[in-house]
Amino acid sequence: MSAGIVAAIAVTVIALVTAVVLRSRRRAGPRLVSGAVPREPPSAVPRDPLLAKIDETFRAGRFCVLLGRGGVGKTHLAAAYVRGGRFPVVWVAAQDPANTERAYAALAGPSFDAEAGLAWLDSLDDAVVVFDGATDPDALNRWLPARARVLVTTTVPDFEILGGTVPVGGFGEAEAVRFLEARSGRAAGPDAAVVARELGYLPLALTQAGPVIRATGFAAYLGRLPHVPPLEREPGEDHPPCVESTALAALSAVGTRDSRAPALAELLAVLAPWGVRRALLRRAGPDPVAVDAAVAGLAAAALAEPDVSGEVVTMHRLTQRAVLGRLHTQERLAGALDRAFDVAETAGEELPAHAAALWRHFRALPSAELAPRLSRMLRLRRRSVEALLTEGAIARARALAQEVLADHEAYLPPGHEDTTRAAEALHRSGVVPD
């Protein structure tokens, strides 16, 4: 055998060994998990048949749509699927289409370029992107990856166009009654089946109801359930009228044990829907340990959901709507926004997302409550542009800057110093052209 052949064989062997070592290191190392993947909820019920359907759907293609009404457990089904895998995961709170661009931009590193982040994602093997709570197929279409698998949770049937739809429903009656019995610690008499039916067999509502039933009993709980929905419903929200009241009853029960919990729940309801970092919630004070205890109480009652890292706390959309509805009904939204302003001012790079959520709620205030808070709200909007510029998110900063300047001009009288200040700052930044 010639020396050249031996050398060639040696090079080939070295290359193969190197490839095996690198592959094993990639497998042994931690996988990418970007975004607030929820941890397993209290009293979680395995839904193995549905998980098997997700696997089956992905074997047939890259897209899987979990379709069902709010509260049936689509989010936690998707979370259970990605928690059980070893593939890279990007989790997007997609009810706000802007969050998709934000999630991809976070993958791009210092460039904070969403297109670059999407391209990098598609370079990974077997990655999965979860678009949780998606509402707009057209807005999502632009950001669909070319290689990564896509898992969508939604109440909107239009997403079926992607293919691979898995219908997700609530529990069956027998399963719901067993769940309530276990969650409440009370024997399931005839009233348990009635409560389960009134709650639409929805896992979220049943989970929130259990601890309250433990204290009151099934008959007393059933007597308190309303039969008229307290809030106007959105598309896909055909859940029973008592679901919002179930969340509020659970919150009241937690509040009797920890007076800080309701205020934290209100913060979660008005800040960014993708979640709030625990470190930011701790700034609501006065004691970080007490804040953590309040978060734990909310999570145990299924009113809040820490992610797998424990660093981000989210709230289900139905629970958010229930808390917001009570703030509107009791005319306390302005006070909740004041507390949220205090927290958001220290949010750093996440300020734009929180300020955008606060802006939506702010505009719902009556004129008498809006005016005293206008200056502070507009200042948060200006600072959001600065935060995006600091991150290097120039395209997003440019679009937001134009909106912010228009808001100043719409809400303030001509020549107002805040409008001048906003225009000067934006022009100095080169964001808004002359």
181, 293 Cβ separation under 8 angstroms:
no
430 is written with which tokens?
């080169």
What is the C-alpha to C-alpha distance for residues 155 and 195, in angstroms, rounded to an integer? Answer: 24
Of 2-16, 310-324, 337-351, which gets the smallest average pLDDT? 2-16
Q: Edge to edge, what strands does the sheet with 33-34 contain?
A: 33-34, 89-93, 128-132, 149-154, 63-67, 165-167
d(CA 70, CA 82): 20
pLDDT band at residue 431 using 50, 70 and 90 as cut-offs: low
Mean pLDDT of 162-172: 92
Question: Average pLDDT in the 422-426 region?
Answer: 76
Distance CA 157, CA 144 (A): 18
**Mean pLDDT within 104-128:** 87
pLDDT tens-digit readout, 18-49: 333 323 323 334 578 888 899 988 778 889 99
Instruction: Reply yes or no on whether the pLDDT at 433 is more than 50.
Output: no
pTM of the model: 0.84
Q: Are strands 128-132 and 149-154 parallel, antiparallel or unpaired?
A: parallel
